[in-house]
Structures are given as C-alpha cells and as structure tokens.
Amino acid sequence: MAFVIPVFIPHQGCPHTCVFCNQHTITGLAGPAPVTPDGVRAVIEQWLARSPGRIAGGAQVAFYGGSFTGLPRSRQGELLDGVAPFLEAGRVREIRLSTRPDYIDGPTVDFLRQRGVTIVELGVQSMDQVVLDACGRGHTPGQAVEAVRLLRRGGMQVGLQLMVGLPRETTASFLRTVREAARLQPDFIRIYPVLVLRGSELADMLARGKYRPLSLGGGVVRAARMKEYFAARGIRVVRMGLQAGPELEKWLVAGPYHPAFGEMVNARIMLNRTRRILRDVREGEPVRLSISARDRSTFCGVRSANIARLRDLGLLDRFSLVTDADQPRHTVRVMNDSEPACIE
Ligand code: SF4
C-alpha cells in the first residue's frame, strides 16, 4: 500500500449547493489560507522526513478537500508544480485527487496526465438522476460514465465515491447505483453514509420533516450490501464512512455515524455470510467455519453484536470456528473434514 501524503486544499468557491454539504457555511467562517506551491512542497518534505522508513513502496500525494479540476487551470498547475520536483526525483510515485464527474473532459485528462496525476476519484454519489436532482448535485449519471471512459482512455486509475441514504433514494435506485457503478469497473470505491451536518440544506430539510436519515443499522446494512456486491466482482472498497473525529462530530446533527462504521460493515458482512452458510446446512450437521486470524473481533462484531445476533437466531451452537492465518480478511468459509482443526 502506498504511503499517502495528504495535502488539504481548502474549499474554494464551489458554485454548487449539494444538500448534504456544509462547505459554504464552513468557508463563510475564517478558514485556512489557500495553499501555495511552497506550502505543498513543505507538506511533502515534512511527511517524507517524518516517515523515511515507510516510503519503500513509493509515496502518493493525495489532494483532499475540493473538486480539484473545478479550480482554475492555473491554480491546478500551481498545486501540481509543488509536487513536480518530488516526482522527478522519484521521491513521490503518484498523485491522487478527487473531483466531480462534470469537471472531467478530454483536455483536462491530458493536462492531469502531463502533470503526473495517475489516480482520479469521482464524486459520483448516485447513478440515479432523481436522487442526483434531489441532492442538487448538478450532474448526470451519464457524465459519470463519460468521465470514467475519458480517464481510462488517459491511462488513469479511477475511484468512485458513492453515498448511501441520499434524499429520494429507494431500494431500486440504490440497486441501480450499485449495478451501474460495478459495470464501470472502477479500480476502487469509497462508500459514505449520508450524515446531516449543521449548516447544510439537509439539516433544514430534516428540521422541516423533508428528509429522514438512515439509522446506524440501516446505513451499515446498505453499505454491507454494496461492499459484498463489489467484492464479488473483484472491486476493492477502500473506505467506508467519513474520517471520524472531533471536527466531524462538531458539525454532526444526525445520521448513521459511528467511529467504527467500517468495522461494523465488515462485521455485518461476516454475519451475513455465516447465516447464508448455515442456512444451507442441515440442522445437527457439524460445521466448521474458518476466518482470517485477524478477524476474530470483527467476526464477533462491535460489542459482540454478531454473537448476540447469532445466539438470538439459535445459530451460535451450530458451528465451531477456526482461524487461518492465510485466509483473506472479512471472509467466512466452510472447512472440509480433511482440513486440520486449526491453521495458524
Ligand atoms: S459536495 Fe462538493 S460539489 Fe457539492 S457543494 Fe460541496 S464542495 Fe461543492
């Protein structure tokens, strides 16, 4: 895994008003000054100096905090100029940035490629037009498809950011999003449950009874369903849930927030898999299930929620559990009779 050097570009005059976003409120307050090329260089130097032992696999500079290609081209160039000397010296291997699907076109891809950008994440959020309109996103699913095509043609790795719990989201629109996102064959996906943040349009909608957020359990179930679907098609989900912390909690009004959201999703996936396996086994038949040696606590669930659920369902006594140091994370499999009892 690449060693990631984060460079935050404060939100700068986004003309959009997505209902879940409170950037306009935040930037109305005294925020940090725009990052200069020298600032970019200083951040990279600091990180490289701080962790010299961790960059063997190559460092990745990741621009966070805005729709990068929505910035004026000169400003994009300035920021990328800050990374250029490190790329040339081989001290940084790749550059990642995120943007909106409608901020990608042929010349933009050419520009990014010439400046050494190799990974672009698209804030797709949904592949359903009704949902995108209800969110005020201002782009279409077709633009997401076209952006992926252009980026691929330019030789870029493509990541998609998707949200669960958006206004007007239904089971049908959710499933359409999952299916169509998978069809785009992205290199990776990030899943974010919608949170209601103070200062956002969604907070007003919530107050007026026009929006109901997912419960924590509902958010976990949807994200788990998404991740299982992508995993079955070989698509990596590299993150689930926003970065937890006091800054986020300061703005949080409602929604499926938990600092261990991703862990809860993985636990749910292991529970689902266990239930499916046991459903196909005759009662009384001994079953040995194998999990990764690193998944003991995930299998049990946050505060042993999975154990409690399996007990409630009368399934806890139906299997024995063994661990396998080589088994992929977050998988559950049935062991053959011939396999040794514990492989670790
Ligand atoms: S989510 Fe992104 S595109 Fe939408 S208003 Fe916020 S910054 Fe702009």
**pLDDT tens figures, 315-344:** 999 999 999 999 999 999 998 766 655 443
Residue nearest to atom 4 of ligand 1 (CA): 18
| Residue 26 pLDDT class (50, 70, 90 cuts) | low
Query: 215-256 pLDDT, tens per residue?
Result: 999 999 999 999 999 999 999 999 999 988 888 899 999 999
Q: Which atom of ligand 1 is nearest to the CA of 137?
A: 4
Give distance in angstroms: CA of 16 to centre of ligand 1: 6
In this prediction, residue 341 carries a pLDDT of 53
Q: Which fold has domain 3-259?
A: TIM Barrel (3.20.20)
Q: In the predicted model, what is the mean pLDDT of residues 145-169?
A: 98
Give distance in angstroms: CA of 146 to centre of ligand 1: 20
Give distance in angstroms: CA of 18 to centre of ligand 1: 6
| Residue 52 pLDDT class (50, 70, 90 cuts) | low
% of the chain residues with pLDDT over 70: 92
Characterise 199 by phi-psi region: left (phi > 0), alpha (psi -120 to 50), beta (else): left
Pocket of ligand 1 (CB under 6 A): 11, 14, 16-18, 21, 23, 67, 100
Q: pTM for this structure?
A: 0.92
Domains of the chain by residue range: 3-259, 284-334
Q: What Cα–Cα distance (Å) separates residue 203 from each residue in 141, 277, 313, 321?
A: 25, 41, 38, 45
Q: Which atom of ligand 1 is nearest to the CA of 11?
A: 7
Give distance in angstroms: CA of 15 to centre of ligand 1: 8
